[in-house]
Amino acid sequence: MKIAVYPGSFDPITNGHMDIIKRASRIFDKLIVAVVRNPNKVSMFTVNERMDLIRKAVAGLPNVEIDHFEGLLVDFMRSKNARVIIKGLRAISDFEYEFQMALMNRKLDPNIETLFMMTNYKYSYLSSSVVKEIGRLGGCIGDLVPDEVVLDIQKKLRSLSSGGQDA
Ligand code: ADP
């Protein structure tokens, strides 16, 4: 069985992520969307909230699983019997960092390959940070995130801007 892992912060999931998930899930028998728990990075949504949002958004894709990990991606990959890392590329600005990560992961485990998928041009401007910023300022995020999670994300952003954790 060909298993791929799509790792990321997904803070929160966007239509750009969904596009990569749909396309990658057609190529592999199983796609594991893996939320990274990074203690050095401040996130707006907890790991559980991020996983719940992804779960709702991918409900129609039977070969997509949701998981999370902390530490080295290659260790997580081995624990899942997966050999392919999926990464999305938006612009040249993504390239340098992703290139370095791909080479480092291959050095850590030569059996693991990173596959890059070009963003759909419709989503090349889209990132989780943009969604958070637009939402926080009261803009419409309806076209930016999957329909199934628009309300959940709006609710969270509203609760933060009305004096929640984000102060
Ligand atoms: P960031 O790196 O901005 O914190 P994530 O970690 O959530 O974002 O991103 C996870 C993966 O999804 C990365 O490989 C990233 O390049 C990719 N990605 C994010 N947004 C898009 C998009 N709009 N189109 C294609 N790929 C994307």
Render pLDDT for 68-91 as a digit per residue (tens, 0 to 9). Answer: 999 999 999 999 999 999 999 998
Q: Cα-flanking dihedrals φ and ψ of residue 104, to 5°?
A: -65, -40
The structure tokens 């943009």 sit at 130
pLDDT band at 165 (very low <50, low <70, confident <90, very high): low
User: pLDDT tens-digit profile of 45-63?
Assistant: 999 999 999 999 999 999 9
Pocket flag, ligand 1, residue 8 (CB < 6 Å): yes
Indicate if the pLDDT at residue 99 is higher than 50. yes
Closest residue by CA, ligand 1 atom 17: 88
**Of the residues 30, 56, 87, 90, which is catalytic?**
90
Cβ–Cβ < 8 Å for 51, 25:
no
- Whole-structure pTM over 0.75, yes or no? yes
Indicate if the pLDDT at residue 142 is higher than 80. yes
Instruction: Tell me how far the alpha carbon of residue 17 lies from the centroid of ligand 1, in angstroms.
Output: 6
Which domains, from first to last, does the chain contain? 3-161 (3.40.50.620)
Indicate if the pLDDT at residue 41 is higher than 90. no
Q: 4 is written with which tokens? A: 């791929």
Q: 57 is written with which tokens? A: 């958004």
